[in-house]
Amino acid sequence: MSITTMNKSIHEGRNIKRFREMLNMTQEAMAADLGDDWTQKKISLLEGKEKVEPEIIDQVAKVLKVPAEAIKNFSEEAAVNIISNTFTDFKDNASGINSNCNLTFNPIDKVIELYERLLASEKEKSDLLRKKDH
């Protein structure tokens, strides 16, 4: 895919919507964070625009805490290609690994899992020290 083809497929309003949804933010909350001039309806219209004014993208990027370039350059096709190529490379290099495994995970679950393992380790150390003292 050429760069010009990729740039034509970038829909900045849709990208704003994607990032807002990834952050689990409603249109109303985003409008409130952007200021008094913004409403849910205005956010909805913004998300429908293929091209968004650079100053608006900058404001939205600050509210979403993402780089403005992410909104301007995110392309679903490019992301799918990157993921596909990465997965293909992984599959080629991972002989003996079940390629049907689910590679998605929730980062919060991983943090909780790590915390629980750390807590169990500390409890084990504490139990060992109590046994040693008695």
Looking up tokens 């990465």 gives 86
List the pLDDT tens digit at each of the 134 positions of the chain. Answer: 444 444 457 899 999 998 898 889 999 999 999 999 999 999 999 999 999 999 999 999 999 988 888 888 887 666 556 556 655 544 455 444 444 444 566 667 777 777 677 778 778 888 888 888 77
| Assigned token pair, 33 | 């964070």
Q: Tell me the whole-structure pTM to 2 decimals.
A: 0.55
CA 10, 14, 17, 23 torsion-angle sign: negative
pLDDT at 52: 96
Tally: H helices and E strands in the chain? 8, 0
pLDDT at 120: 80
How far is residue 23 CA from its own chain's centroid? 8
**Residues 71, 60 contacting (CB under 8 angstroms):** yes
Q: Which of 24, 30, 32 is nearest to 47 (CA)?
A: 30
Report the amino acid identity of residue 16: I
